[in-house]
Every structure is written in C-alpha cells, then in structure tokens.
C-alpha cells in the first residue's frame, strides 16, 4: 500500500470545514469525533460523518478516516455504530491507547461491522495514536508480541503515530520543548519509541501534529527531521500545512533516479545479495530503501467504502 503522507484532522460536526478539507490535496481526512467535538454535539457529529461517508463513497479525493473516542471512554462502539450505519470509512484512528489489547478488541469489533455490512474482511484499516497516555508509552514494547499473536488485528494496522499534547497534560509537564526549541527527553522518548515500534511491526510511522499555525519554519524543521529519521507521513491540523507535508514526503527527482538505478543494478544481477553502482557496493538494505522510494510515487486516492 502506498504510504499516506498527509492526514488532516477535521471536526466531525463542521460541514463547512469538511467541505474545505475535501478540496485539499491531503492524502486522508480524519473526521474527528474526539477532541474537537463537544460531548453535547457528539450525536450530531456522528450523523454528519455518516452522511459524509455515504455521499462521498466511490469518488476521487482524500481517503476518509474517522477518529473515534478512546476505548476507556466507553464511547468507541457507539461511535462506530453511529458513523458506519451505511458505509465504512477507509480507516479508524484509535486515540489514547493504553495497551495493545485495546487494539485487538477494536479490530474485532470492526471485523464484526464489516461482516454485517458485507465488506471484505480487513478492508478497514487502523491507525493508533500510541503515546497519549503514560501507560500507552510504557506499553509500546509489548506491541510486537501481542500483535504477532493477533494476526487479524495486525493485518489491519496501517501505522502508529504519536501525540504530545495529551501526554503533556497527563504528566503535568510545563513545556514540551527546551529553550532551544528541541523536544525535551520525555517527548523525544515518546517519538522515538513510536518510530521504532512501527518499524518493528512493518507499518507506517506517522509524525504528530505541528500546533503553531503561524510557524511555517518550525513545521519545515519538523518535516525535515521526520523524513530523516524514518517517518513516512505527518498529521495536520490546518489545510495550509498540507502542501509542505506532501512535498516533504514526496521523493525528489534525484532520489527517484537513484532508486531506479539501484533497482536496475539488482535486476541486472539476479540472485545476488550485493551489486555495484558507480563503483560502490550496494546490498539488500539499499534495495529495500529504493523500493520504498519508488512505492511512495504511486498516489491512488479512493474515497469511502461500501
């Protein structure tokens, strides 16, 4: 599957913002039923999201995902039932996950929904926000073993992302960055552990949001750092961030050309573990990275689902 570069949060109860978001170049929209929706508006938000999924099914444009409320809230199943009355989204964003068993439980419920709707099993993907609680951050090392045993849930997992805002509140942290603008150790730990766990699972690592809408330079620094370290996409909170995010995670012309030459070098020497390019030895890790770069060039967009 082609990685999602940009995933734009949109309030589930705002038709105006949804219409604006649908016209962007975001790879995916995350229709939010959690933080951006007042609890009193949740029933209306569910109905609005369900209508949007129904009306946009089968068209071209951003994939439509839904962020439900956390498992601990007691609202997750009701959210899913409310928005999936007729159509299932491309995926579900699971926030404030505190243990991998919650992912397995959510995946089982999505499977039941697919069965009832006559949708192919496993078609609805999952994106986990893995670091919003202290328990969640500490549980990340358990993911590979738990999800290896729960293969149906693991097959649904598109990726992991990390969040600093809720974690900061849970910790009572006064700041997430030091005087020089770098993440403090705790939040570096959350980011890095998310990245490593995603790599261990073979899924996307998606960087968290940049919350200062006026700080374009700061967004650019975060994007350069994210791509350098191995993230393949980033969450967005405003349409103005989409262009920079897509550009950052789209391979450059030089990267594409080099990747094609690496693949060609191995194709010219079938059955070998190493090859030569421009007088230098290249091996399987170079081929894997080249294949990832070329895969990122394919950008099919499909809205909605049956």
Q: What pLDDT score does 266 carry?
A: 84
Q: What pLDDT score does 300 carry?
A: 53
The residues of the chain that CATH labels 3.20.20.60 are 6-250
Q: Which band of pLDDT confidence, cut at 50, 70 and 90, is reported for residue 306?
A: very low
Which pTM value belongs to this model? 0.90
pLDDT at residue 54 above 90? yes
Work out the mean pLDDT of the chain and round it to a whole number. Answer: 92
Do residues 24 and 62 touch, judged by C-beta distance below 8 A? yes
pLDDT at residue 305 above 60? no
DSSP H helices, the chain, are 15-22, 42-56, 76-83, 100-117, 134-139, 143-149, 151-156, 165-171, 185-201, 216-229, 242-248, 253-267, 284-295
Q: What are 239-276's pLDDT values in tens digits?
A: 999 999 999 999 888 888 888 998 888 888 788 788 88
Q: What are 58-82's pLDDT values in tens digits?
A: 678 899 999 999 999 999 999 999 9
Query: What's the CATH superfamily of 6-250?
Result: Phosphoenolpyruvate-binding domains (3.20.20.60)
Q: Which band of pLDDT confidence, cut at 50, 70 and 90, is reported for residue 283?
A: confident
Q: What are 104-155's pLDDT values in tens digits?
A: 999 999 999 999 988 888 899 999 999 999 999 999 999 999 999 999 999 9
């Amino acid at each position: 599957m082609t990685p999602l570069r940009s995933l734009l949060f949109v309030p589930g109860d705002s038709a105006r913002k949804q219409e604006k978001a649908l016209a962007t170049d975001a790879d995916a929209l995350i229709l939010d039923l959690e933080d951006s929706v007042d609890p009193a508006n949740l029933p209306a938000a569910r109905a609005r999201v369900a209508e949007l999924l129904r009306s946009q099914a089968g068209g071209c444009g951003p994939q439509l995902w839904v962020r439900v409320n956390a498992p601990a809230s007691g609202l997750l199943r009701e959210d899913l039932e409310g928005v999936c009355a007729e159509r299932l989204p491309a995926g579900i964003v699971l926030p404030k996950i505190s243990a991998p068993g919650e992912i397995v439980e959510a995946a089982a419920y999505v499977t039941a929904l697919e069965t009832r709707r006559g949708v192919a099993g496993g078609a609805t993907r999952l994106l986990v926000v893995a670091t919003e609680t202290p328990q969640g951050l500490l549980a990340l090392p358990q993911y590979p073993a738990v999800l290896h045993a729960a293969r149906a849930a693991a097959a649904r997992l598109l990726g992991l992302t990390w969040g600093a805002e809720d974690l900061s509140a849970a910790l009572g942290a006064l700041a997430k960055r030091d005087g020089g603008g770098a993440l403090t150790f705790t939040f570096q730990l959350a980011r890095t552990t998310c990245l490593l766990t995603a790599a261990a699972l073979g899924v996307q690592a998606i960087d968290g949001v940049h919350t200062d809408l006026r700080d374009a330079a700061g967004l650019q620094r975060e994007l350069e750092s994210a791509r350098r370290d191995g993230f393949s996409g980033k969450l967005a909170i405003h349409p103005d961030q989409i262009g920079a995010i897509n550009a950052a995670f789209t391979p450059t012309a030089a990267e594409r050309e080099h990747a094609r030459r690496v693949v060609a070098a191995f194709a010219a020497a079938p059955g070998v573990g190493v090859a030569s390019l421009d007088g230098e030895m290249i091996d399987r890790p170079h081929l894997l990275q080249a294949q990832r770069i070329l895969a990122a060039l394919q950008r099919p967009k499909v809205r909605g689902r049956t």
